[in-house]
Amino acid sequence: MGRHVGIVGVGQTHHARRRTDVSQAGLVREAVDRALADAKLSMEDIDTVVVATGPVLFAAVNQPEKWVVDAIGAQGKSVVRLTSGGGAGFAGALAGYYQVAGGFSERTLVVAYDKLSEGQLQYSISTLYDPFWGREFAVGIMGFSAAYWRARMDVLGHTEEAAAMVAAKNRKNAIANPYAHVKKEVSVEDVLNSKPLCWPIKLLDVPPISDGAAAIVLSSEKMAHHSTSRPAWIRGMAYCCEADNAPERSLMLSEPLAIASRQVYRAAGITNPRRQFDVVEVQEPYSCFELNYYESLGLCPPGQAADLIASGATQLDGDIPVNPSGGCMGANPIGAVGVIRLIEAATQVMGRNETHQIKDAKTALVQSGGGWANLRGCAVLSA
């Protein structure tokens, strides 16, 4: 077990459908300035930097960290760039966590971003598919996500209504989020009646396409007090992978997430997630994913996700609020989302969430993922 690591400063951009006033590097600068100010630090105080982004094809700049370094004044520092699809931000944070936990850095800045307005999102994601075997029929991430949901619908009861409830909840929560750019309340009926894009996925099950960046400062226990008297301590963090097209690969539970959560819960002493977590932030690129994560994270048994959302337990005033920030429905700059979810959970346990502070939140669960369904991770944060 390594050293204790805390999140001591956070910052994110005001996300938008399209920012034509800043380059990718300028976007990163905004988030970094905010995170450093929040941590009462300057770049001089930072030992190492992790830059995380989605696939290069999203915005056509290869090795963007060399551009980012100029923009954030990180010349001469240890900088690594990391990419892991939609989980890039979370994987970047994990890399930063290892650096501080392992004693190689006292303070590490993790910045994650994507500027999705610049490229062809679904087509870029289709290049994740094997060029020999399936790419020519791929429909980005949406086609396969909908296919998995369709399979879960019959076996696990993840109905269109249940997913619509997730979409309505998260869209409503996003209205108060100062960083979100989609702020419109919709009803369950609105979601159900919205245009099928990749049925069962419909327009209002789908998050926006966004430009945005997010940054966190990770600190050792020794240095944390310089920034805050109440860091969000990382009690456990894991990111696991499953085989791509293995014969036993399940379309039901997310196996890598179930494995990651077992590891993380053991490290953090979580035996009853539903009771022990005060708040949960998940990366739900489509509403159907949130249902899947309820089950894979053990918030309810398999087959009961529809009941959980219907019960109201994951609403703001429920016993286990999920995505009080609005999740991806308010803003979805994909590579940044893992860090955004960490920020939203960290500020909850620090007692200063700007969207919907959950009263007395002490322990928070964060989920993020990349690839299509095969890379999934989670983290536990506590005050």
Partner 1 sequence: MFSAPDSYPIDLPTFHSEINLPYTLTPGRAAGIFLAEVKNRRIVASRFASGQVVAPAQDFSSTNGEEPEAFVEAPQTGVLTAFTRVDGHVIGFIRLDGCDNDFAHRILAELDDIAIGQRVEAEWDDSVEQSVLAIKGFRIAPDAPVGTVKPLETMEEPLGVIPYAMKLDYEHAYGPYYGRMFDEIRENGRFMGVRSPGSDIALLPPREIDDVTHGRTGTWKACADTGTIRGCSIINMEVYGQTRKVPYVYAEIVLDGASTRMIHVIEIDSLEEAKERIKPGTRVRAVWTQGERQGRVSDIERFEVIEG
List interacting residues with partner 1 (CB under 8 A). 19-26, 29, 43, 57, 59-60, 70-75, 115, 117-120, 122-124, 126-127, 129-140, 142-151, 154, 195-201, 243, 245-249, 251
Return the structure tokens found at 2. 């390594």
Contact in structure between 339 and 325 (CB atoms under 8 Å):
no
Cβ contact 90:345 at 8 Å: no
Q: How far is the CB of 97 from partner 1 (least distance, A)?
A: 25
Q: How far is the CB of 248 from partner 1 (least distance, A)?
A: 5
* 176 phi/psi in degrees, rounded to 5: -85, 0
AA identity, residue 150: R
Closest distance to partner 1 from the beta carbon of 307 (Å) = 22
Longest dimension (CA), the chain: 55
Residue 262's φ and ψ, nearest 5 degrees, are -60, -45
Backbone angles phi, psi at 238, to 5 degrees: -150, 155
**Nearest Cα to 101, choosing from 219, 229, 7, 232?**
219
Please report how close the Cβ of residue 62 comes to partner 1 at its closest, in angstroms: 10
Q: How far is the CB of 246 from partner 1 (least distance, A)?
A: 4
Between residues 303 and 318, which has the closer beta carbon with respect to partner 1? 303
For partner 1, give the closer residue by CB, 58 or 179: 58
229 or 245: CB nearest partner 1: 245
Instruction: Tell me how far, at minimum, the Cβ of 365 lies from partner 1, in Å.
Output: 27
Place of tokens 């009803």: 187
Residue number, 117 or 187, with CB nearest to partner 1: 117
Which residue, 235, 267, 214, is CA-closest to 349?
235
Cα 380 to chain centroid, rounded: 13
Q: Are 56 and 84 a contacting pair, CB within 8 Å?
A: no
The nearer residue to partner 1, 130 or 185, going by C-beta atoms, is: 130
- Choose between 251 and 259: whose C-beta lies nearer to partner 1: 251
